[in-house]
Amino acid sequence: MRILDEGEWLVATAGHEARVDALTAAHRVRRADGRKHPVEDFLFTYYGWTSGRLRRWHPGAGVGLAGAGSAPHRGWRFYRVEGDVVTVDLAAFLDARGDTVRFVRDLLTQTASRPGRFGCFGLHEWAMVYRLPQSDIRHAAWPLRLGPDGTDAVVETHQIACSHFDAYRFFTPDAAPRNLLTPTRASQAAYEQPGCLHAGMDLYKWAIKLSPAVGSDLAADAFELARDIRELDMRASPYDLRELGYEPVPIETAEGKARYVEEQRGFSERSQALRSRLIAAIDQVAVPMRSTDALD
């Protein structure tokens, strides 16, 4: 157990809050004004973690905060006070989330052990709008860069090989049979690979699901990675978002494919480094791992 004195954890708290405030400033202004954003809102709507929850600083397992009477953590879930020190209550945390911890570690270690695949070209976003009328697509307020027919033609002239279940499950009924793979929730750990943009974004999901045992510094790093990946995800999508300042990556061309793969490889390297850190953080929890556990 490493003990931070009150001055140390107050500095860490202020630094984290300032970092998150800067990262989420535009989102918070839009939310107050009731405006939506097709790129940046995803991290808050899909992952279901508010900017306020992200702003809350957690030291992580194995770190105690001296001056428990002053620490707000003493009243938060999964914390306990011993004398003048407040720490994560690992027994209570594992009792509630042990299966999730084991599932996530198994998923991350299996994903990290595989070579990345870099031939998907972000076609999952195209498969999500295939043969849909404009009114039915997810971001209906934004035009398709190639129009409906041009978008459908891209899907029909490419081999789609999406390995990520939580992307594949949003394919349109006409697009799903075109996928080379058939990922399911049960086969998630067998399919995920480190070249996948969504697997990289999901590191943020796993970090916040394992909070407060996983510290907020790692969660904020995962948020930044997910935000950067999401930008490429949508720049390579069929939507025309130039009005928002997003220059398209035209994956229907050879030049666009090459640019996508170059950026994808960079994100894969960043994801693998963060994946290793997350596995190490999980191992600090010291829970016996069973690969047979599943996550609802």
pLDDT of 159 reads 95
Taking the whole predicted model, whether its pTM rises above 0.85 is answered as yes
Per-residue pLDDT of the chain (296 residues; tens, 9 = 90+): 899 999 999 999 999 999 999 999 999 999 999 999 999 999 999 998 999 999 999 999 999 999 999 999 999 999 999 999 999 999 999 999 999 999 999 999 999 999 999 999 999 999 999 999 999 999 999 999 999 999 999 999 999 999 999 999 999 999 999 999 999 999 999 999 999 999 999 999 999 999 999 999 999 999 999 999 999 999 999 999 999 999 999 999 999 999 999 999 999 999 999 999 999 999 988 654 444 343 43
pLDDT of 254 reads 98
pLDDT of 284 reads 87
State the DSSP H helix or E strand holding residue 15, giving kind and residue range, or none if neither: helix 6-33
Question: How far is the C-alpha of 122 from the C-alpha of 127, rounded, in Å?
Answer: 9
pLDDT of 1 reads 87
Write out the two tokens for 136: 């039915």
Tokens 């609802």 belong to 296
